[in-house]
Structures are given as C-alpha cells and as structure tokens.
Amino acid sequence: MNLSLLILLPLVTAVVILFCKGLKQVRSVALAGSVIQLLASCFLLVAYWKEKNAGNHSPMLFESDNVWFTALNIHYHIGVDGISIAMILLTASVVVAGILVSWTMEKLSKEFFFLLVLLSMGAYGFFISLDLFTLFFFLEIAVIPKFLLIGIWGSGKKEYSAMKLALMLMAGSALVFVGLMGIYYQTHSYDIMQISQMHIPLEVQKFFFPFAFVGFGIFAALFPFHTWVPDGHASAPTAASMFLAGISMKLGGYGCLRVATFLMPEAAHAYSWIIILLATIAIIYGAFATMMQTDLKYINAYSSVSHCGFVILGIGMLTQTSINGAVLQMVSHGLMTALFFAAIGMIYSRTHTRMVAQLGGLLKVMPFISTIFVIAGLCSLGLPGFSGFVAEMTVFMGSWQNPDGWYRLATILACASIVVTAVYILRAAGKTVMGPISNEYAVLTDATWNEKLAAAILVIGIVLIGVAPFLINQLIAPGTENIMQQVGKLITQK
Amino acid sequence: MLTDFFILLKQELVITVIIFLLLFIKLGKDRSNETILNWINLFLFINLVAGFFGSQEGILFSEMFHTNKLVVLEKNILNLAMLLISMQSYSWLKMHKHVIEFYLLLLSTLLGMFFMISSGNLLMFYLGLELSTIPLAAAANFDLDKRRSSEAAMKMIISSAFSSALLLFGISIVYGVSGTLVFSELSLHLVADPLHLFAFILLISGFAFKISAVPFHLWTADVYEGAPVAVTSYLSVVSKAAVLFVFVSVLYTVFKPLATVWYNILFVLSLATIIIGNLFALRQNNFKRFLAFSSIAQVGFILIGISGSSQAGMASVIYFILIYVFSNLAAFGVVSLVSAITGKENIDDYKAFYSTNPLLSWILTIALFSLAGVPPTAGFFGKFFLLMAGAAKGNYWLIGIAALNMVVSFYYYLRVVKAMFMDSNEEPISKLSIPILPKLALYICVIGIIVTGLLSWVYDHIFSLSSGI
C-alpha cells in the first residue's frame, strides 16, 4: 500500500474544502474525506497483517524512500510498524468523531474544517515519517492550526490559551530541533533506520537526549511543562479539544519513543530515573489537581496530565511490557479523552455550563450522552472491560519488572493515584448525571445522530481494546520489540 | 572585447537603457500615471526575463568587474524583488506627482547594487555601494509633504555617510598593509596581525551598518517608519539582500585567512542581532517599525548561516534571501495597500481585518508564518537550513538560543495574526478593492512562499552554484 496516500487524502480534502460554499457542503466534504481516511487506515491494518502473516519480518513495512534535498541528504522516507499503525488508526477515529461533533459549526465553517483537516494531515505525516526532517516538518504543521482553532472558535480566555499553547509547543520543537542537529552532525543522516544502526557515543547521547526528550515531552505534557494542557484544552472548541488530547499529545509520546529513546537508548537508560521522577510527579500532581477542579473540561484536562504521565512512566521504565503499556495508554487515552471531551461538548452545547455544581440529573433527559460520559469516566478510572484498565495494568506490570527499588516505589505511587482518579471521576459523574434535575434542564434533548455516531466510533475502540487487548498487543509488540532490541543491545553489552 | 563588454555587462546595460528611456518619457508629452506605471512595469518585467538568458562568466576592466552564474542569479533575485515592489506600489504611485523620478532613483540604486555584487576590487565595491545608497536616501524623502519622511531621509544619509567613512578608512588601511585592492590578491596578503584586524573590523562595521546588524541598527526603525512603504520594502529587502550577497562572498573569498576571527565576530553579532531585534519587535505597534525590527532579527539568522562557512552556508543564505524576498514583500504588499488606501499603519488598526478582507488577511498570515518559519511555508526550510549550516561548527548553544528566539519571534508574528482573526474592532478597515497589479504581485509572492520550500531543486540549484571555504 502506498503510504503517501495517508497524507494526500487530507491534503485533497483540505483543498476541496477551500472551494466549497456553505456549511453543508463543507462538512460533507470533510466527513467524506475523513471516512475515506479511516477506511484507508483500516485497509492499511489489513495489509499489515497480511504482510506479517506472509512472514515479512522487516522492522518497517511499506517503506518508500525518495531523495528530497540532495545536497543536505534529506529524504522523504516513509514506512510504518505496528506502533505507527495503532497511532494512525487512533488519529483516523478521532478525526471522524471530531468532524461529526462539529456538525453544526456555523461560525466560519470553511476555515474551521480546513484547519481540522490540516491538523490531521500533520499528524498522519508525523506518524509515517522515517526521516527526521520530514518528521519535524509534520510535527510543526500540526501546531499552527491549534493556535487558530483555539483562538478563533474557543471560549473563555481563548487568546491567552492559544498563545500559551502555540509558544510552548514551539519551544518544544525548538528543543527537538537542537536534538536533531546533534544527531545529524554525529551521523550525517536524518534517516531513523540508518541512525539506529550506527552507534552514537554516550557523551553525545547524554548531551542531546534531554533536548529531544524534553522537546517531545512538552507535547506529551511532561511535568513541569504541562501547563499548556489545562488552559489549551479548556479553551478549545470541542473538536479541537478532542484533537489536542487524542492526537497532538500522542505526537509527543510517539516522538519520545521513536526519536529520543530509539535513537539514543543509552542516554535514555542513563536518564531514566529523571524521567520516572517527573512522570510520577505528573501522575500524582495531576490526579490531586483534578480533585480541585470544578469545570468539567478542566477536570478532563488535568486528568490528561495524570494519564499522560503513565505514558512517560512506561517509556522511562524501559522494559518491553512497560513500553507496550505506554503505547497502549497512548491509544487508550486518545480514544477515552476524545470521548470525554465529546460528551462534555454535548452537555455544554445544551446546558451552556460546564460547572459540575450547576449540573445534575442529566441521565433523565439525555440518557445517551450521560451514558457515554460515564463510560469515558469509568475507562479513565481503569474499570476492567475498557481500554484504560488494560493500558494502565500493562504499564504497572512492565514497571514492576524493573527490579530497582526506587522504580518500584514509583510504580506503587503511580498505582495509588488510581484511587484519587476514582474519587474525582465518580464525584463528577455522580453529580452531573445522577440526582435531581433542575427545571431549566428538564426540556433538553438527547444526542442527535451525528453525536451518537461520533461517540459510537470511540466507544467501539475503547471496548474493543478493553475486551480483546491481545489484538492491539500483537499489533504493537513487533514495534516495541524493535525498540527494546536497541535498548537491550547496550544492557547486554554492560 | 566589445562583445564581452555587452554580454557580461548585460544586466547593468538593460537597467541603464531603462533609466534613459524613462528620462525620454519624462521629456515627452504628459501622460497619465497609469499608463506610465504600466509601461514601467513592463520594462521591469522584460528586465527580469532578460536576466535569465545568455549569461556568461568573465572578468572586465582588469578584475574590477566579474560575473558568474551565482552573481547572475543574485541579480535576478534583486530584479524580481524590484518588479514586485514596483507592482505593489501601484496604488501609492498612481496618486503621486513624480512617478518617473521615483523610478529613476530606485533604478540607479539597483544599478549600484549590480556593480557592487559584481565588484572584484574594493574601490569598485565602494563606488557601487555609494551609488546604491545616496539615491535611496532621496527616495526615502518621497512623501514630499510629510515631515517624517524628510527626517527619515536625513537620518539615512547621515548614518550611511558615517558607515561609508568607516568603510573607506578600512579600505585605505587595507591598501596600506597589502598594497592592493583587488579581491583575488588581497586574500594572499591578509594575516591575523593587529593592523589587518583593525582594518577588517572597520570594514565589517561598515557592512553591519548596511545590513543593520546590532549594534549598528539604530537608524533602521526610524528610517523604515518615516519612508514611504514602497521605499521601506525596498530598503528592507533589496538593499539588504544586495549587501548580504556581497558580504557572504567577500567573507568566504577575500577574508578567508581571517576565518576564525570573523567566525567569532559573527557569533556575537548574530546573537545580539537576533535577541535585540526580537525584544524590540515585541512592543511595536506601527506595522513598519514592527517589520523593521523583525527584519533585524532575520538578519541575525542569516549571520548564523554565514558563520557556518561551508558550501551549505552560502547556499542557505542565498536561498533564505530569496524566500525573504517573497515573504517580506507579501507582508509589505498588504501593508502598502492598506496604507495607500486608508492611511492606517498600526497593528491595532488591523483588528478584525479578517471580517472585511479575508483574502488579504490570509496573504498576510501566510507571509508572517513564512517569516516566523512555520511549515509548509518556505520560511521553515530557509530557517532550518540556515541554522543547520550554522550548527556545522558544533556550537549547539548558539543554535539552541537561536531556536528559542524563533519562539519569541513567533509571539509577535502571532500577535498580528491574533489581531486580524480574533480581536474585535468597532470600525475595522473597510473592504479594499485591490488593483490588478498589486494583486498579481501578492499572488506571485504567495506562490513563491509555498513553492520555493517544497520544491527542493531551488535549493539544490543554489547549492550547486555556491562555494564554501
């Protein structure tokens, strides 16, 4: 399968949107484009299984490598492994859901859908890039639409949040850039697979790993650079919140894994205690900060900080199971948070408030929305049967495999945060959905077809992973094995 | 000999012919400004196209004048910028009384720049530089009834006289220590002893004045603000580009023996230029001042590219200047339209610009994104390659600080985008009707911004013409 299709489809969709007139045309084109993209991603998954079953064990599949800038040895090199496919499927589902949720976006609809599609293009390009320049190119493409989406269509202190988000993410990519320069001038190549075959000296790794890891970490809400997350998520319009949590933050996690850890494994090993320390702080701090929130969007945003901490923790622990767990957590968190934001958006568009204290008894008038709200919440607190349980469990199992006493303490602390999660989720869900309903809300209506469809796509994903985790595990395991080989090489050397 | 003369001097001769043609048109019967402007733009277009054909390498006047493919390319870039500026200032010049004089002045400076780029001798270089500066000061005074405009001209003439004095002093010492002014011989004579270094520092200060590198930047903002928008864009794009072209080739060839010295100088200059330019740009409200300071910061990035002192360094500088021509002229094009029709020049006036002028807003946004270095615009590639060339020296702290400064510059570019798209305004700039020529110029700029980056052969072509140390 030609992977460039994954970039071309959104590009074509975006261009067609520019020539459309009126909300109806624009949204149909956007939806059509994203559904085709979802189908293409599913097709990619099938093709991947076929290749694997046919006995193709090369680390990257469907590679294509074209020279872009000859003079600088920059290539347009793309290819996928199981991890990228999982991310692409996640992106495609969230994009379809996001477009469905924004079905009635009247204000500047053409620009809105154009930017959404552009953002998704950046994400697809990022996940399939095997060349550091191309990867960086797509990473930055995904930043600017966020600024405009939040600043123009957002709510609350939107300009502040948009600026903060854009600047922090740009600072992240500036750090990544320095890391890339270090790698390039060490190896004279931008090709990820080539670089992974070379050996970068330990001192060089130790100098540049922090740049790359922290740079990508800012995208993934690494403590203490997580401050853009709450403001950005809370101010963004619903679809943009879904994209932010479901896609953008995953760019960071994927980058930490694919670029920082994969290319500089020794430094990752040397610095793992700092990574784990920061991740543990993020998990616990995020959980307690969420307890204090009264706004539904802030609740979800802070809990995202906590949940993304698990991703970083999994990467930092450097065992195969924990990295598996990190990838699982990325997918699971993406689906779950997108669902959560979608539900919050639906509630807000009807009640015009997101304050937990002002809501109550919504189950009586909007059973569907209340149900998905509760599903997202239960997934977030790690109820078995949903994806959250599988992902977090895998992270904990993997972390425990690391025999160091301090790391085990970190694991225990991270586990304990689940109790706090349960408190804030149950409290918010209980207060919002149960109890008496105030008169002004009694006349509200339940979800429309588009909202139901959006939620259904995400719920299917969550339940599928929750009930049959081996499916996705088999998908990502070869990819993580590959990364572990890099790490393992040096551990056996010692 | 005579055919050599005509072929090698082709681009200069075309400009000279246009200047004389304009003089004759001036003498002839009165025509409307529109007709004259259309004719002039046609001339400039022919000039641009002619630059692409029949160029050869060679030397004239005992090494005073030399030309090769790279020089021709640089001149073509300047021709392109000249044409774009001319098309963009259509709305402003249409109302002006002295259209032809304006072009006489600008084309004389362009001629001066051509000689400067082609110079193979410090005297020739100095002559070209002066020819490119003095008419420009007169052009800065072209809003004849505005006091600020004449103030700008005065400031410019004084500061450039000062920088010329520095240059001349430097040149005379160079002659004193080496006994020659020819570029090809100079590099054999220069060594890192104090007198040579003193002369070199004087020369580099002269250059720094012209490209407004910090701490020689103080004239820039005032002149940019006072001069008419067309002259401001000419100053910030064409005249800066020309001096940078010379700067990079002179450093890489003539001053090759002093490479370690100028690397250190460029290191300090570039950091100071980026940081100071950014800090001042943060607080500007006048759009022209804002672009002035942002262009100071851009020069800082170019200096980092030069400091790479490799083939990639020279290529990325020329490549970036080409991109800078498109991006800065797209921004200036919008500002010039708005200024010519409404007289508004403040960033606050652009609040809610999108609600009335969506097309212009998008063009300005794309231009600013390119200046900020956001993909997929060409500015991203330009900045990336500049910093990459600079990183070849292994000075990663410099690169890190520069990259973080890109984030700062991001803030002020986004501030304008925010004003256009997000802020509300009770009386936004009304819907502007855009004449055909400025519109065409803006479209060319936008296409340039998008295409120059994504199509790699542009860079590869420039790279193949460049040379390093």
Question: Which chain B positions have a beta carbon within 8 Å of A184's beta carbon?
Answer: 388, 391
Q: Which has the minimum average pLDDT: A139-143, A289-293, A400-404, B457-461?
A: A400-404
* Distance of alpha carbon A289 from alpha carbon A283, whole angstroms: 10
- CB proximity B416 to A under 8 Å: no
- CB proximity B359 to A under 8 Å: no
Given 3-state DSSP classes, what are the helix, strand and coil percentages for chain B, each rounded to the nearest 5?
Answer: 80, 0, 20
Q: Which residue of B has its CA nearest to A138?
A: B375
pLDDT band at A491 (very low <50, low <70, confident <90, very high): low
pLDDT at B337 over 70: yes
pLDDT score of B365: 92
Question: Which chain A positions have a beta carbon within 8 Å of B392's beta carbon?
Answer: 185
- CB proximity B392 to A under 8 Å: yes
* Distance of alpha carbon A230 from alpha carbon A234, whole angstroms: 6
Mean pLDDT over residues A174-200, rounded? 89
B121 strand-pairing partners: B182
Would you list which residues of chain A are within 8 Å, Cβ to Cβ, of chain B? 68-72, 74, 133, 136-138, 140-141, 143-144, 147-148, 151-152, 158-159, 162-163, 166-167, 170-171, 174-175, 177-178, 181-182, 184-185, 207, 211
Closest-CA distance, A139 to chain B, in angstroms, reads 9
Question: Tens digit of pLDDT for each residue in B61-110?
Answer: 888 888 888 899 999 999 999 999 999 888 888 888 888 888 999 999 99
What phi and psi values does residue A224 have, to the nearest 5 degrees?
-95, 25
Chain pair A-B, CB pairs under 8 angstroms: 88
Token representation of residue A199 = 């050996």
Closest-CA distance, B271 to chain A, in angstroms, reads 16
Helix (H) or strand (E) holding A435: none
The residue of B361, B396, B446 whose CB has the most chain A CBs within 10 angstroms, and thus the best one to mutate to test that interface, is: B396
- CB proximity B37 to A under 8 Å: no
Q: Is there a contact between B421 and A151 if contact means CB atoms under 8 Å apart?
A: yes
Q: Which residues contact B61 (CB under 8 A, 6 or more apart)?
A: none
Closest-CA distance, B259 to chain A, in angstroms, reads 21
The residue of B368, B383, B384 whose CB has the most chain A CBs within 10 angstroms, and thus the best one to mutate to test that interface, is: B384
The residue of A137, A155, A181, A225 whose CB has the most chain B CBs within 10 angstroms, and thus the best one to mutate to test that interface, is: A181
pLDDT at A213 over 90: yes
Classify residue A86 by burial, with Cβ atoms within 10 Å: 0-12, 13-18, 19+.
buried
Question: Which chain A positions have a beta carbon within 8 Å of B315's beta carbon?
Answer: 71
Token representation of residue A204 = 């060089």
Q: Which residue of B has its CA nearest to A141?
A: B375
- Other Cβ atoms less than 10 A from the Cβ of A2: the count is 9
The residue of B365, B385, B388 whose CB has the most chain A CBs within 10 angstroms, and thus the best one to mutate to test that interface, is: B388
Question: Tens digit of pLDDT for each residue in B19-44?
Answer: 999 888 888 877 788 888 888 888 88
Write the residue in A158, A166, A185 that is nearest to B414 by C-beta. A166
pLDDT band at B218 (very low <50, low <70, confident <90, very high): confident
pLDDT at A295 over 60: yes
Question: Tens digit of pLDDT for each residue in A311-364?
Answer: 999 998 888 888 999 999 999 999 999 999 999 998 888 888 888 888 888 888
pLDDT band at A494 (very low <50, low <70, confident <90, very high): very low
Question: Which chain A positions have a beta carbon within 8 Å of B417's beta carbon?
Answer: 147-148
Half-sphere exposure (CA, 13 Å, Cβ side) for A225? 24
Closest-CA distance, A150 to chain B, in angstroms, reads 10
Write the residue in B375, B406, B460 that is nearest to A137 by C-beta. B375
- CB proximity B465 to A under 8 Å: no
- Inter-axis angle of helices B69-88 and B436-454, to 10 degrees? 140
Mean pLDDT over residues B196-216, rounded? 88
- CB proximity B396 to A under 8 Å: yes
Half-sphere exposure (CA, 13 Å, Cβ side) for A195? 29
On whether the CB atoms of residues B392 and B312 are closer than 8 A, the answer is yes
Q: Is there a contact between A159 and B422 if contact means CB atoms under 8 Å apart?
A: yes
* Distance of alpha carbon B422 from alpha carbon A154, whole angstroms: 10
Question: Which chain A positions have a beta carbon within 8 Å of B387's beta carbon?
Answer: 177, 181
- CB proximity B362 to A under 8 Å: no
Q: What percentage of chain B has pLDDT greater than the value 70?
A: 100
Question: Which chain B positions have a beta carbon within 8 Å of A178's beta carbon?
Answer: 396, 399-400, 403
Write the residue in A72, A141, A184 that is nearest to B375 by C-beta. A141
- CB proximity B421 to A under 8 Å: yes
List chain A domain ranges: 5-493
pLDDT score of A493: 47
What mean pLDDT is reported for chain A? 88
Question: Tens digit of pLDDT for each residue in B350-368?
Answer: 888 888 888 899 999 999 9
Mean pLDDT over residues A422-436, rounded? 87
Question: Which chain B positions have a beta carbon within 8 Å of A136's beta carbon?
Answer: 384
Mean pLDDT over residues B104-132, rounded? 91
Q: Which of A319, A277, A271 is nearest to A487 (CA)?
A: A319
pLDDT score of B394: 83
Q: Is there a contact between B410 and A167 if contact means CB atoms under 8 Å apart?
A: yes
pLDDT band at A3 (very low <50, low <70, confident <90, very high): confident
pLDDT band at A484 (very low <50, low <70, confident <90, very high): confident
pLDDT score of B142: 84
A418, A421, A422, A424 alpha-carbon torsion, rounded to 10°: 160
pLDDT score of A492: 52
Q: Which residue of B has its CA nearest to A180?
A: B388
Closest-CA distance, A360 to chain B, in angstroms, reads 34
- Inter-axis angle of helices B396-421 and B259-282, to 10 degrees? 30
pLDDT score of A490: 58
Closest-CA distance, B371 to chain A, in angstroms, reads 14
Q: What percentage of chain B has pLDDT greater than the value 90?
A: 28
Q: Is B159 helix (H, G, I), strand (E, B) or coil?
A: helix
- Other Cβ atoms less than 10 A from the Cβ of B461: the count is 16
What mean pLDDT is reported for chain B? 88
On whether the CB atoms of residues B290 and B284 are closer than 8 A, the answer is yes
Tokens 């225990």 -> residue: A412
Mean pLDDT over residues B410-431, rounded? 87
